[in-house]
Each structure stands twice: as C-alpha cells, then as structure tokens.
Amino acid sequence: MSLLSRLFGGGASSVKTMSSADAIQRLREVEEMLGKKQEFLERKVDNEIEIAKKNGTKNKRVALAALKRKKRYEQQLKQIDGTLTTIEYQRGALEDANSNTTVLKAMGDAAKALKRSHADMDVDKVHDLMDDIQEQQDLSKEISELISNPAAFGAEVDEDELLQELEELENEQVRDKLLEVPSSDSVPENLPSVPSERLAAAKKKNEDESELAGLAEWAA
C-alpha cells in the first residue's frame, strides 16, 4: 500500500467517496502533518551530526552508528519532500477542478436564466417594436422642426422688398424736411412785436402829414 493510501486511511474506493472540498481539506491536513514530521526528522539529523562530531575518532563505532541513522533520517526526509510535492500538485488540481465546477455551474445557471428570459421574447415582435420606436422618433423630429421653423407662422417675407420699402420711407422723410424750409419771400413768423403806443404815434403822424399836404394844395 502506498504512502498516500496509508495517509488517507484506505484504498482508492474511500478517496472516491469524498467530495472535492473534503479531499482538499484532507490533503491540507496531511501536508501539515508531514511538515511537522519533516521538522522532527531535521532535528534528528542535526542531533546525529552532533553525536558523530563529538565521538569522532575517539569512538568510531558510535560515530558511524550516528551517521547511519542520519542517512536513514535523510532518506525519510527525501521521501517526505517527494510526497509533499505530489500532494501539493494534487491539491492544486482539485482546487482548480473545484473552481471550474463552480464557474461552470454559475455559467449553466446564467444560461438557463437567459433562456427563460428569451422564452417570452419573439424576434419578429422585437423588430416590430423597434420599427415603431424609430417611427415615433422620426415623427417627433419632424414636429420639432415644424415648430422651430418661423415660416410655419406665415409666408416668408422677401428681404429685397423690405429694403425697397425702407428706401421709400427715407426718401419721404427727406422730402418732408425740404418742404419745411421757409422761402425768401415769406415773412418770418417770429418777428419782434412793435409796441402799440409806437404804432399809434406813427399812425397819428401820418394823418397829420396828410392834412398838411391837403392844406398846401388848397392854399395854392
């Protein structure tokens, strides 16, 4: 029976009954146990080296026995190193498989949910709906353009016609100003007023002069 079989406490049939999560947990426990055994054997190797050094040539038999035990412990350490490498590889493969199973299950559930969502959809109905939406958008755009167009409120005014009308108005203003200028024959309206007393005196003087002229004609 292999070391892995002994560590798992049975043959291949007992390993098959484990779930991937249980197998991963068991491998971690075995790794921890082998790590502790490895530390124990390393201390044993150091101890046997000290014994061999201490006896040396003084007691070759004891020194050689210590070196033999050291070799045996080193052989066990080498076997444990190989076992740990195998366990680490197997645990990594199980973890990857477990992750892949989780991912595949999630993807399968998502595919089923997507299929259920699409079950209530009809491609032709979706096309009809999109056509209706496009038609309404085009209609809304046309209405907006009509509302924003000033020509919608009346006939478009010819700009040249407006310029001609403006020119006529300006010419009419020029003519009006020319008519308002007084001529040389007209009497100014704003002449200074002559006092009434002076007007009466002038009138009387003219009358006196007329009477004198009449008397002169009679005397002659």
Angle at 64 between CA 61 and CA 68, to 5 degrees: 135
CA-CA distances (angstroms) from residue 125 to 58, 61, 117, 128? 101, 96, 15, 5
Say what the pLDDT of residue 68 is: 93
DSSP assigned state of 199: H
Percentage of the chain modeled with pLDDT above 70:
70
* pTM for the whole structure: 0.43
pLDDT tens string 5-47: 555 555 554 445 678 888 888 999 999 999 999 999 999 999 9
Q: Which residue has the tokens 């029976």?
A: 1
In this structure, the number of other CB atoms found within 10 A of the CB of residue 53 comes to 10
Low-confidence ranges of the chain (pLDDT < 70): 1-17, 149-157, 181-206, 208-220
Say what the pLDDT of residue 1 is: 46
Domains of the chain, each with CATH number or no CATH: 38-117 (1.10.287.1060)
Say what the pLDDT of residue 98 is: 82
